[in-house]
Structure 1
Amino acid sequence: MQNCNDLADLIGRLAPEDGIVETTLERVSLVRSSSRTEPVHTLYPPSICLVAQGRKQVTISGRPFLYDPSSFLIVGIDLPVIGAVVSASPEAPFLCLRLELDRALLSEIVTTRADMPAAEQASPLATSAATPGLIDAAVRLLALTEDQAEAKHLAPLAEREILHRILSGPHGALLRQIASGEGRLGQIERVVRFLRGSYREAFAVDDLAAMAGMSLSSFHEHFRAVTTMTPLQFRNHIRLQEARRMMVMDGLTAAEAGFAVGYESPSQFSRDYVRIHQLSPKRDVARLRGQDARFG
């Protein structure tokens, strides 16, 4: 798989240290890890993750998804998952390219393709075979970070090719649903975007159901089917992830972080934290400071 080797060489050169690196290309970032990581709760944005070397596993509602150079990950909406690098070493680090999805661009591509069927219901997260053509397009896209004069003109073409190839594959329905913003996924995505932006605030589930254009019972059913949790559980995951970031990166205490993300009771914050992360905030933060928490 020469094109995978080429992609690994590029990522290794552009991300020489462990962590997440933002590139000069819009919505393109790189991930590097020289060792396996502990499972970490995190929120994945709508994106495509292409691995050039190593292996990672994400778990949602107890269901594991493995992706490596033979397969890539597609995420359709912001999803709380448990992520862990499961294969990496200093000699062969985990190397990954992440392309966040642009709905406007997807919609434009779908509308120009006469062979595209209507959007259909699809799982919000999936893995699919990484074809040589897809990896080759990713190599050409990433190589443009080293040629800014050409990037402005050629990067959009390489990104379009990546999306075209996935749309033509077995999980094209997921991208079509993202593009349309309709169907069950689109309805739930509107609520997810609201919860992400307003996680500090209280909400009425009736209002969320109206936002999705569903009856209350239908909303509960479909929200759980897409995200594997209730709206309250989803909001708490977002709160706890942001609080964890504040404690690890900004040095806030558990009480300070809890209040900052919307909790009124430090004891409730600690109970929810232990239920999600299986450790108290203090012990979890001490563990994470021993490993880069950005690898979620």
Structure 2
Amino acid sequence: MELMSIQSEHTAASPANASNKELITAETLRLANLISGLAPYDGFFSQRIPCLSVSRFSRVNKNDVKSFDLPSMLIVAQGAKTVIAGQEVYRFNQSQILMLPVALPIALKVTDASHFEPYLGVKLVIDPHKIAELALRVYPHGVPAVTKWNAGYVLDADAGMLNAASRLIECLNNKSDSDLLSPLIMDEILIRVLRSPIGSRIAELGFAGSEAHLVTKAVTWIRNNYSHPMKVAELAELAHMSESTFRVHFKSITSMSPLQYQKALRLHEARRLMISESMDATTACNLVGYASPSQFSRDYSRFFGNPPKKDVAALRQ
């Protein structure tokens, strides 16, 4: 299933609209220049501000790159990217934002990039507790009714969001600014998202007792206990739902079933262990909860496209 961007309704051209478009273009260019200064060559670059990283790619991807992402915002300043979460496909390009409000296994691909105009993006990891805190302030009388959630949301960035992202990056120039001002700017960015057309969907995840919040509690349990046997009925009980209702809401929010989520998490963790800790496949598969090495190898090959040994060797190279 492919989801469309949440955009404002088309209106007739006016001086105000033209001026706003020019402002967004200027802010996007400013953000692109700042990212370019932090990413002198292709790759991902973590920054001193813990939640912040930037990326640059001068070629499109032929194959999807598998990743497990924490709740995050991806802002494109130049180029375009596609992200697949479960069965949902999100395409977003310059001046657009992808919100992933729940930790998810994803596949991503840069779809518009060149040596002269590389893909330039910024990623902000989101604290769900901060979302909950700010949602109470943005929606003091409760969140408007939400009937459907998605694993992710594509949003047209306004000039204020882009400006705030640029100011956050500029905090890197001064350690005092990084320590004192960057948390305030992150709050500003999240408040702007909560006040946007997708705000009520994001806010619902932070309101204790809401169905979305209860499902995220189950997601957190799986992340903390991914190597242990799991019964969906017990997760449903944790979320105070019937099993059938829980399955529907879990798939709505993550675009996969609980068992698919657990399997993806196990495979990503096994890959990390083999790459970062030089662990062999048999040891890694046991640590992440697989009882059968042969089943692990089959699942790994289907998920990442190559058997463990070949995949890890290629990544190291």
- Using the size of structure 1 for normalisation, the TM-score is 0.88
Is residue 60 of structure 1 aligned with residue 85 of structure 2?
A: yes
Is residue 41 of structure 1 aligned with residue 66 of structure 2?
A: yes
The 1-side partners of 2:128 and 2:272 are apart by 27
Q: Aligned residue for 2:210?
A: 183
Secondary structure in 2 matching 1:240: helix
- Judge which range, 223-232 or 105-114, deviates more: 105-114
Q: Aligned residue for 2:175?
A: 148
Is residue 135 of structure 1 aligned with residue 162 of structure 2?
A: yes
Is residue 274 of structure 1 aligned with residue 301 of structure 2?
A: yes
- Judge which range, 62-71 or 103-112, deviates more: 103-112
The 1-side partners of 2:280 and 2:128 are apart by 38
Q: Aligned residue for 1:261?
A: 288
Q: CA deviation at 1:49?
A: 1.0
Match of 1:31 among 30, 50, 55: 55
Q: Aligned residue for 1:293?
A: none
In structure 1, list runs of 5 or more residues that go unmatched.
Answer: 291-296
Alignment of 1:187-226 (within 5 A): 187-226=214-253
The 1-side partners of 2:83 and 2:229 are apart by 29
After superposition, the C-alpha distances for 1:83-121 in whole angstroms (9 at most, x for unaligned) are: 112222333332221112223333333333367651543
Secondary structure in 2 matching 1:170: coil
Asked if structure 2 preserves the Cα contact closer than 8 Å seen for 1:88 and 1:94, the reply is yes
The 1-side partners of 2:155 and 2:102 are apart by 17
- Judge which range, 5-14 or 249-258, deviates more: 249-258
Q: CA deviation at 1:259?
A: 1.9
Is residue 238 of structure 1 aligned with residue 262 of structure 2?
A: no
The 2-side partners of 1:215 and 1:21 are apart by 43
Q: In the alignment, residue 123 of structure 2 is paired with which amino acid?
A: R
Alignment of 1:59-208 (within 5 A): 59-113=84-138, 117-118=142-143, 120-121=145-146, 122-208=149-235
Match of 1:6 among 15, 23, 30: 30
Which gives a bigger RCO, structure 1 or 2 (Cα 8 Å, sep 6+)? Answer: 1
Q: In the alignment, residue 78 of structure 1 is paired with which amino acid?
A: A
The 1-side partners of 2:227 and 2:129 are apart by 28
After superposition, the C-alpha distances for 1:43-83 in whole angstroms (9 at most, x for unaligned) are: 22211111112211111234321122231101111122211
- Judge which range, 191-200 or 119-128, deviates more: 119-128
Q: 1:120 to 1:146 in 2, by over 3 A?
A: farther
The 2-side partners of 1:62 and 1:150 are apart by 41
Q: In the alignment, residue 105 of structure 1 is paired with which amino acid?
A: K
- Judge which range, 273-282 or 71-80, deviates more: 273-282
The 2-side partners of 1:212 and 1:54 are apart by 40
Percent of pairs with identical residues: 33
Q: 1:104 to 1:248 in 2, by over 3 A?
A: closer
- Judge which range, 106-115 or 79-88, deviates more: 106-115
Q: Aligned residue for 1:294?
A: none
Q: CA deviation at 1:131?
A: 1.3
Q: CA deviation at 1:226?
A: 2.2
The 1-side partners of 2:256 and 2:161 are apart by 33
- Using the size of structure 2 for normalisation, the TM-score is 0.83
Asked if structure 2 preserves the Cα contact closer than 8 Å seen for 1:76 and 1:174, the reply is no
